[in-house]
Amino acid sequence: MAVKGRVLIGKIGLDGHDRGAKVVARGLRDAGFEVIYSGLHQTPEMIASAAVQEDVDVIGISILSGAHNTLIPDLMKFLAEKDAADIAIVVGGIIPDDDITALKSLGVGAVFQPGTSLREIVETLEGIISKKKKG
């Protein structure tokens, strides 16, 4: 099976809960994606650097700390500084509905809340990567 795309699953900030991120990483891998997992307590700059180094198509950020309105814009800033603003970002975790609109207006490709199925995550990433490769 051909690899569907390269995805970096990242945990930024002080959030120490990574069970969901690991479940998603395994589900994406089983669906044919190449997955890189950053580990806990990464900074936005570290995630941006790893994404560029690993040449990923998508960064998936798992965030449960409530700091998404600060950390996601910081991640986007560091990607832009590295001429990598074309790397898609998706976010999963505890994200209030009002914040979803704000994140998407910044350019976040998708926001996954608790209860989102692995199938929906896989299909969303397949769509994002397909659009990206078509140009």
Answer yes or no: is 90 within a domain: yes
Answer yes or no: is 27 within a domain: yes
pLDDT at 49: 98
Answer yes or no: is 24 within a domain: yes
User: For the segment 101-116, what is each residue's pLDDT rounded down to a tens digit?
Assistant: 999 999 999 999 999 9
pLDDT at 15: 82
Q: Which residue, 32, 99, 94, is CA-closest to 63?
A: 94
Mean pLDDT of 106-129: 97
Q: How far apart are CA 36 and CA 109, in angstroms?
A: 19
Answer yes or no: is 122 within a domain: yes
Q: What CATH number is attached to the domain comprising 52?
A: 3.40.50.280
pLDDT at 1: 62
**pTM for the full model?**
0.96
Answer yes or no: is 62 within a domain: yes
**pLDDT band, residue 133 (cuts 50/70/90):** confident
Answer yes or no: is 58 within a domain: yes
pLDDT at 14: 84
Tell me how many domains the chain contains.
1
**Going by C-beta distance under 8 Å and a sequence separation of 6 or more, which residues neighbour residue 33?**
3, 4, 5, 6, 7, 122, 125
Answer yes or no: is 68 within a domain: yes
User: For the segment 6-52, what is each residue's pLDDT rounded down to a tens digit?
Assistant: 999 999 988 888 999 999 999 999 999 999 999 999 999 999 999 99
Domain residues for the domain of 96 are 6-134
Question: Per residue, what are the HEC states of the chain?
Answer: CCCCCEEEEECECCCCCCHHHHHHHHHHHHCCCEEEECCCCECHHHHHHHHHHHCCCEEEEEECCCCHHHHHHHHHHHHHHCCCCCCEEEEEECCCHHHHHHHHHHCCCEEECCCCCHHHHHHHHHHHHHHHHHC
Answer yes or no: is 1 within a domain: no
